[in-house]
Chain A
Amino acid sequence: GAVVSQHPSWVICKSGTSVKIECRSLDFQATTMFWYRQFPKQSLMLMATSNEGSKATYEQGVEKDKFLINHASLTLSTLTVTSAHPEDSSFYICSARVVSGRMGFGGELFFGEGSRLTVL
């Protein structure tokens, strides 16, 4: 299957700093990527849909100025957590869509390994 890579896999930062997480599709082009946030033992909550060449679509309740998403190329989407605070500590995971017809009209999603953010 397709490969999605996230970097860094874990990061520790001080409160007030900004952190950038990268999501790359290694062997395919992804016009659409998705960013999820997950607290321990909880579900994955969709934060935003990243669209190549246009603005991201954020889910209700997600602060656009807090979580900046950029999808500048067909293989890279970045999530920047600006002015991070301890409550932003979480597991962030991205996924990329491949429209192959194998799993219905919506295609198939491939997930990155996730990035664990700890804000001190």
Chain B
Amino acid sequence: AQKITQTQPGMFVQEKEAVTLDCTYDTSDQSYGLFWYKQPSSGEMIFLIYQGSYDEQNATEGRYSLNFQKARKSANLVISASQLGDSAMYFCAMREGRKLIFGQGTELSVKP
């Protein structure tokens, strides 16, 4: 069964606008962690943001924020003031034990 679901294969956003990338997850664990990574065309995985299941506040890291809705099991990434350099693949991931399980990814394209 799919544990991490990203339903948007591709997204377009105008430069300087905000964009939301969707992520839903499935787990029966009470304690878990959710991550977002950016993967540019070079292939490296760049850590963006982390949300623990017991964190009461939504995580924020600069222009990145995570809209964590525990009851809905969603952990959407919000990028504010998009930049051309934000064009990349974005992956949502959930920790399962020691392992990190990734969603299918969303390809974000920022238009000038």
Contacts and interface: CB of A to CB of B under 8 A. Distances in A.
Interface of A: 1, 32, 34, 41-46, 49, 91, 93, 95, 97, 103-106, 108-109, 111, 113-114, 116
Interface stretch (B18-26, B62-70, B74-82, B95-103): B95-103
B98 A114 contact: no
Contact of A106 (B33, B43, B104): B33
B45 interface: yes
Interface of B: 31-33, 35, 37, 42-45, 47, 50, 52, 89, 91, 95, 97-105, 107
Contacts, number: 57
B89 to A, nearest CB: 8
A43 B105 contact: yes
Given A43-B103, A49-B99, 5 more contacts: A43-B104, A46-B101, A106-B98, A109-B100, A114-B45
A4 to B, nearest CB: 10
Contacts of A41: 89, 105, 107
Contact of A49 (B32, B42, B98, B101): B98
B43 A91 contact: yes
B43 A113 contact: yes
